[in-house]
Amino acid sequence: MKESTTHFSHIGETVMANCGQSMKIIAYKNYKNIDVEFEDGTVICSKTYAAFKKGQILNPNLVKSQQIGEVITAVNGQQMKIVARRSCRDIDVMFEDGTLVTGVEYSNFLKGNIKNPNFKYSSKYEVGSSYMGSNGITFTIIDKRHSNDIDIKFEDGTVSKHVKTGAISARNVRHPSINQRGYGVFCNFEVSRAFKDDNGVFYRCKCSKCGLEDIMTPQQMVKHYGLLHEEN
Ligand SMILES: [Zn+2]
């Protein structure tokens, strides 16, 4: 079987690769030797036309984080997840309340800048509402005198008073005993911030009660303390 290059050309044919990006044929020597270009500009050489048609060419530059399933916190404080991705300018996300928003840009997803049409902004920042800060620590509003005078309680029981709405909406609420660089004390652990992934913000930590050293999220530290050191 021989491909004729005189009658027609495959150059310019575009398909959706299995990695979620579109790719285009930019050179076609024969059906066993083609070059393709992904939408991000990555060029891959010497692939087969069959692999192209099946979408089975991998883009090595496609970072894992751009894949379906990536979760981020939107500016409204809700979690949202990528559920479909046709190109970097055309993804579908689902909010934690099940609301599906289609056809948004990945760059806006990364900034958390996607609106949930079902989210009631009027119910925002009321007593009893809980949020997770960018430091990975959750807190609950326990009193609100006016929009810029809010008291919150962190999950380890620490209370911060007179917090502003802006700090809560930016999730930029510092825990009083952890400094800006992520060092301090949380729930009887000495902590220093380590890294962040889909499961939360992790800290290197040492329990002042039992000496355990580990890398944990604030939630895991609270659990450890509750299980092993809390009276009753
Ligand atoms: Zn301990």
pLDDT in tens, 186-197: 999 999 999 998
Return the structure tokens found at 56. 């089975």
Distance 210 CA to ligand 1 centre (A): 4
pLDDT tens digit string along 80-112?
Answer: 999 988 877 888 999 988 899 999 988 888 888
How many Å apart are CA 62 and CA 71, to the nearest integer?
17
Tell me the one-letter amino acid at 85.
R
Distance 142 CA to ligand 1 centre (A): 28
Q: Which pLDDT value is given to residue 3?
A: 47
Return the structure tokens found at 78. 């809700």
Q: Which pLDDT value is given to residue 61?
A: 74
Write down the domain spans for the chain.
14-53, 71-110, 130-169, 183-231
Distance 219 CA to ligand 1 centre (A): 14
Q: Which pLDDT value is given to residue 136?
A: 93
Task: Say how many Å lie between the first and final Cα of the chain, rounded.
Answer: 79
How far lies 40's CA from each of 16, 22, 88, 105, 109, in Å?
A: 13, 9, 9, 14, 17
Is residue 52 within 8 A of residue 67, CB to CB? The reply is no
Map residue 102 onto helix, strand or coil.
Answer: strand
DSSP state of 85: E
Q: Residue ranges of the chain with pLDDT lower than 50?
A: 1-5, 64-65, 122
Phi, psi for residue 66 in degrees, rounded to 5: -85, 10
Return the structure tokens found at 44. 């891959």
Q: Which pLDDT value is given to residue 64?
A: 46
Distance 213 CA to ligand 1 centre (A): 9
Q: Which pLDDT value is given to residue 87?
A: 77
Distance from the Cα of residue 178 to its chain's centroid:
23
Per-residue exposure over 148-168, b if at least 16 CB sit within 10 Å of its own CB, e if not: eebbbbbbbebebeebeeebb
